[in-house]
Amino acid sequence: MSQWRDDARLRVQALHQALRQAGPERDALLLLVKAAIATVLAWQFAVRVLDSPVPFYAPMAALLVVDRTMVRSLSASAQRIAAVVLGLGVAWFAAMVFGVWWWTMFGVILVALVIGRWSRLGDHGIQVPAMVLLSLITAKGTNAQFTYLTIVETLAGGVIGVATNAIVFAPLHLTKPRQRVSALARQVRELLDEMASGLRGGWDAETAGRWYRRGTEIADKAPYVLEDIRTGRESMRFNPRDNIRPADVDWEGYEHTVTTLRRTLWQVTGIARTLVDAADERRHQPTPSSSFLTEYADALAGLAVAVSQFGRHDEEATTAFDDGVARAFDVLTRLREEVRTTPLDDPDEWPVYGSLISDSLRALAELESARESAVVPTDTGALRLPPAESPVWARLRRQGGRSR
C-alpha cells in the first residue's frame, strides 16, 4: 500500500511539473495526449468513412505509431503496415493452396513466427502471426472483404497517427539533451575539484572509495546522455516545427563532448582506484607522500579548470582551458622528473606514483585531442535561428515579394 501511495505521489508530481514548465515530463504528457487524439480520430474514420463493422485496426495502428520523434513514428507506421500485409498474405496463400486444417495451422503459424522475428519489422513483428490467426480463424483466410478492409484500416490508422504526431505539437526534443550534456561536464569538474581539495587535506580509503564510486556512476550515465542526443537529433528530421524555425544545435559536438568526458572519467576513476588501494592497509601497497599528493592536487585542480571550459570556444574560455592544461601538465612533468631522479625508500612506490601520473596525463591528452570538435551548451545565445534563416520562411518571403 505504501508503494502504491509513493507511485501515485510521484505521478502527481510529474503531472504538476508537466503543467508548470517545459521539460521531459511535459513531452511525455503531450505524447499521451496525441496518442489519445490519434486513436479517436482513426476510430471515427473507420466508422464513418470506411463503415467498418469492427473498427479495431485503424485506432490500434494510430495508437501504436505515435512516437517520440517523427522518424520513429514513420518507421513504426511502415513496420506495422508491412506486418499486417505479410500476415494476411501468408494466411491467404496457405488457405488457397492447402485449405484450413489443423495440420496446416502448425506450418503456417511456424512460418509466420519466423517472419515476425525479422528485425526490419521491429516490435510490430508479432502482428504477422496475430494476423494469420485472425484471418484463418475468423475469415478462413480467403475472405477478400476482410483482407481488404483490414489493410485499408491499418494504412489509414498509420497515416492518421503520423499526421497527428506531426500537426499536434510535433515532437522536438532539444532541452533535455542540452541539460544532460551540461550536467555531465559539471559533475566531472566537481569530482576533480573534490579530489584536489581532499588530497590537500585529510583523506582515507573511505574517501577515495567514494571518489571511485562517484566517478563510475557518472561514467555510467554517458550512454544515456548519448541516447538523449540521438533522440534530439532525430526529432529534428521530418519535423514541421524545425523546418519553419530551425534550431541551431551542434549534435555532433555534443557527442564528442560526452564521449571525451567518459574516456576522461575512466582515467579519473583509475586515479581514485589507485588511491583506494594505497590507503587500504590490507593490500599492503605504499601510500604516496603528503608532499607528492599536495602537488598532485594542483594538477587535478588544473584538470578541473580544463574540464570546466571544455567545449566552449570563446576567447576567454579558450584561454582558461589552455591555462588549466598548462598548469596540470607542468605539475605532472615536474613530479615525474622528481620521482625519476629521487631515490625511493620503498621500490614498491614506483607503480603507485607512475599510475597516478600516467592516468592524469592520459586524461589531459583526451581533453586536448577533442578540444576543437567538442561543444557544450551555453546559457547565452538563441537556441533557434531567426525565421528569416528558415528555407520555408525564405520561400514565403520571395513569393510575397513577387506578389507585390
DSSP codes, 53-95: SSTTHHHHHHHHH--SSHHHHHHHHHHHHHHHHHHHHHHHHHH
Q: In 3-state terms, what secondary structure has residue 169?
A: coil
Question: Of how many residues is the chain composed?
Answer: 404
DSSP codes, 240-294: HHHHHS-B---HHHHHHHHHHHHHHHHHHHHHHHHHHHHH-GGGT-PPPPHHHHH
pLDDT of residue 141: 67
Least confident range of 108-117, 208-217, 380-389? 380-389
pLDDT of residue 22: 59
Q: Distance between CA 304 and CA 226 in Å, rounded? A: 22
pLDDT of residue 124: 87
Amino acid at 378: T
Average pLDDT, the chain: 83
Q: Distance between CA 314 and CA 402 in Å, rounded? A: 41
Cβ neighbour number for residue 108 with a 10 Å cutoff: 22
Q: Is residue 34 within 8 Å of 168, Cβ to Cβ? A: yes
Q: Name which residue leads in pLDDT, 193 or 11.
A: 193
In this predicted structure, the answer to whether residue 18 has a pLDDT above a threshold of 60 is: no
pLDDT of residue 381: 43
Q: Is residue 172 within 8 Å of 247, Cβ to Cβ? A: yes
pLDDT of residue 402: 38
Least confident range of 94-108, 234-248, 347-361, 363-377? 234-248
In this predicted structure, the answer to whether residue 134 has a pLDDT above a threshold of 90 is: no
Q: In 3-state terms, what secondary structure has residue 100?
A: coil
Q: Name which residue leads in pLDDT, 136 or 164.
A: 164
pLDDT of residue 386: 47
Which helix (H) or strand (E) segment holds residue 344: the answer is: none
Positive or negative, the CA dihedral 145, 146, 148, 150 is positive
Q: Which triple of cell numbers denotes residue 118? A: 525479422
Quote the DSSP letter at residue 123.
G
Listed by start position, the domains of the chain span 22-167, 176-369
pLDDT-derived band at 401 (thresholds 50, 70, 90) equals very low
Q: Which triple of cell numbers denotes residue 55? A: 473498427
Q: In 3-state terms, what secondary structure has residue 384?
A: strand
pLDDT-derived band at 171 (thresholds 50, 70, 90) equals confident
Least confident range of 22-31, 71-80, 203-212, 250-259? 22-31
Q: Which residues pair with 384 in a beta bridge?
A: 247
In this predicted structure, the answer to whether residue 2 has a pLDDT above a threshold of 50 is: yes
Query: Taking the model in full, what pTM does it have?
Result: 0.76
Q: Name which residue leads in pLDDT, 357 or 281.
A: 357
pLDDT of residue 348: 64
pLDDT of residue 254: 94
Amino acid at 47: V
Q: Distance between CA 222 and CA 331 in Å, rounded? A: 29
Q: Is residue 66 within 8 Å of 31, Cβ to Cβ? A: yes
In this predicted structure, the answer to whether residue 34 has a pLDDT above a threshold of 60 is: yes
pLDDT-derived band at 196 (thresholds 50, 70, 90) equals very high
High-pLDDT (> 90) share of the chain, %:
41
- Alpha carbon distances (Å) from 173 to 27, 163, 224, 301: 8, 18, 14, 35
pLDDT of residue 5: 62
In this predicted structure, the answer to whether residue 394 has a pLDDT above a threshold of 60 is: no
What do you get for the CA distance between the two ends of the chain, in Å? 70
Amino acid at 338: E
In this predicted structure, the answer to whether residue 13 has a pLDDT above a threshold of 80 is: no
Mean pLDDT for 322-338 is: 93
Q: Is residue 359 within 8 Å of 365, Cβ to Cβ? A: no
Which CATH entry fits the domain spanning 176-369: 1.10.1240, 1.20.58, 1.10.357, 2.60.40?
A: 1.20.58
